[in-house]
Amino acid sequence: IHACRRCPRLVAWREQVAAEKRAAFRDQTYWGRPVSGFGDPAARVLLLGLAPAAHGANRTGRMFTGDRSGDFLYAALHATGYANQPTSVDRDDGLRLTDCFITAAVRCAPPANKPLPSERDNCADWLERELALLPNARVIVCLGQFAWNIVAPRPRPPFGHGAEARNGRYAVLGCFHPSQQNTFTGRLTVPMLEAVLRRARELAS
């Protein structure tokens, strides 16, 4: 997956961001490639995001690592027993996940955080192949409507925080995305996110 170049627009953007950098990270070497999922290979719970953040996972090479969304998410994962520490700053910071695997529907940082439908479709088989490597996965927590639309059954039930559906062997659980737009406005609070993560564990049992 790290060598994928299927989407010219995404390849150009991820590499441009990695070359120009944000001033705060100018001394760092950006990952600038597609980002694979990571976590516990025996996980029963999978968290599915939208795509790497331009200066988050596109910089660090690990999903939800090095940005505000990740700060919010990993604190909740730690509080609910899925992560051994509440922070995630780089790939070598000692973070370990238990019973949890984190990935995204699109593996390259998209301009304006908005992948095109063709880019979403180009990435679909990476998720299928990752799921095939997670035989114990039983619950997919969709972080946002984009992820929900990827894995929810057809006809697609409405997305909402705490929404539940069933798609084959997977329970599908909706969760507002831990974006700054949602967390700063209070649309997603710490108790709301932790409640979804605890519900995922119940559904996986």
CA distances in angstroms from 26 to 12, 55, 59, 112, 175, listed in the order given: 19, 11, 11, 21, 33
By the 8 A CB rule, do 119 and 7 touch?
yes
Stretch 185-202: mean pLDDT? 98
**Model confidence pLDDT, tens digit, residues 92-151:** 999 999 999 999 999 999 999 999 999 999 999 999 999 999 999 999 999 999 999 999
CA atoms of 7 and 83, how far apart (whole Å) = 33
CA distances in angstroms from 52 to 13, 84, 148, listed in the order given: 12, 22, 17
**Model confidence pLDDT, tens digit, residues 70-97:** 999 999 999 999 999 999 999 999 999 9
Question: Which stretch of DSSP H or E encloses residue 162?
Answer: none
The predicted structure's pLDDT at residue 193 = 98
Question: Which stretch of DSSP H or E encloses residue 103?
Answer: strand 100-104
The predicted structure's pLDDT at residue 6 = 96
Q: What is the pTM of this model?
A: 0.96
| β-strands 139-143, 164-167 pairing | unpaired
